Amino acid sequence: MFSLQNIRKHYGAFPAVTDVSLEIKNGESLVLAGESGSGKTTLCRIAAGMEKADTGQVILDGNILAPSCRKRSFSDCAAIQYIFQDPYHALESGFTVRKTLEECTRICKRHQREVMAAEDALAYVDRRLLEYLDRPVRELSGGQRQKVCIARALMPNPKVIIADESTSMLDKKSGMEVFDLLHRIKEEKNLILLAVLHDVDFSCTKWERIAIMYQGCLVEQAAFADFKTYAKHEYSRAWIAAYDYFHGNLHPSPAERAAMNERNADI
């Protein structure tokens, strides 16, 4: 179980995150969605220890983690891996793929952490990348670089993977491959997958839960399959309406129509 409890974070007078609590079970995926500036990335950076919350706790498998990476044990840091939005800046372009991954090997061995072999991790994410093992990272496409980032994140055998807009800089095909890969990893390794998304595809059937942030607050949580039909918060409904408009889904299904009628009756 991965839990964020009553997280608050201010930057000066600006409330970036306001009393947010989340729980994600082992083997579960959760989409954290909302507009830019709603606090999604700040919350995830706090979870990973890259930002320090003003108040609140990060709990993994019943253990309260220190508020920052500098104060966490290496084991606690290794257990939560972060995949960044920009694969071009997440890797050193002059390094070979092998050198990039074996840097993780050296660090894990120094701390007596069991580590997945670089070649095994790369083959697991995409066997076709093995031919690039001794080539510089600059020769890889954006999608290939992101897969290398995922391979590196897998090497210390984490319990949680946080993917922060990990497909936003990729073309549609590469983005779909990355999402399929993350879901496969989650299923096969029973990991917790927390994915920050700005643009959610409601036709995807692989996500299990969704949580919506708005102006620093967590305004709604639901099963992903039910959210589009039964979302109640005003921001959630406006967001869904925008999705329908841009995707040409202007006629609600019977279930969606019934849910809308029920909401209107409650107003």
CB atoms within 10 A of CB 64: 11
The pLDDT value given to residue 9? 98
Asked if the structure places residue 56 within a domain, the reply is yes
The pLDDT value given to residue 199? 80
Q: Which residues pair with 218 in a beta bridge?
A: 213
Kindly state the helix (H) or strand (E) to which residue 57 belongs, with its residue range. strand 55-60
The pLDDT value given to residue 65? 98
pLDDT along the chain (267 residues), means of 10: 97 96 96 94 97 97 95 96 94 96 96 96 97 96 96 97 92 90 95 91 90 96 94 92 80 54 50
Q: DSSP assignment of 246-262, as one string?
A: HTT--S--HHHHHHHHH
Q: How far is CA 163 from the centre of its chain?
A: 3
Asked if the structure places residue 120 within a domain, the reply is no
Residue 12: half-sphere exposure toward Cβ, Cα within 13 Å: 1
Alpha carbon of 234 to those of 227, 241, 243: distances in Å? 13, 11, 14
Owner of token pair 């580590």: 115
Write out the residue range of the structural domain in which residue 262 sits. Answer: 2-72+200-266
The pLDDT value given to residue 190? 95
The pLDDT value given to residue 267? 43
The pLDDT value given to residue 262? 56
CATH of the domain at 6: 3.40.50.300
Asked if the structure places residue 131 within a domain, the reply is no
Provide the number of structural domains found in the chain. Answer: 1
Asked if the structure places residue 78 within a domain, the reply is no
Asked if the structure places residue 218 within a domain, the reply is yes
The pLDDT value given to residue 253? 55
Asked if the structure places residue 221 within a domain, the reply is yes
CB atoms within 10 A of CB 110: 9
Q: Tell me the per-residue pLDDT of 81-123, one tens digit each, with 9 for 90 and over.
A: 999 999 999 999 999 999 999 999 999 999 999 999 999 999 9
Q: What is the CA radius of gyration of the chain?
A: 19
The pLDDT value given to residue 258? 57
Q: Specify whether the CB–CB gap between 96 and 135 falls below 8 A.
A: yes
What pTM does this model have? 0.91
Q: Specify whether the CB–CB gap between 82 and 44 falls below 8 A.
A: yes
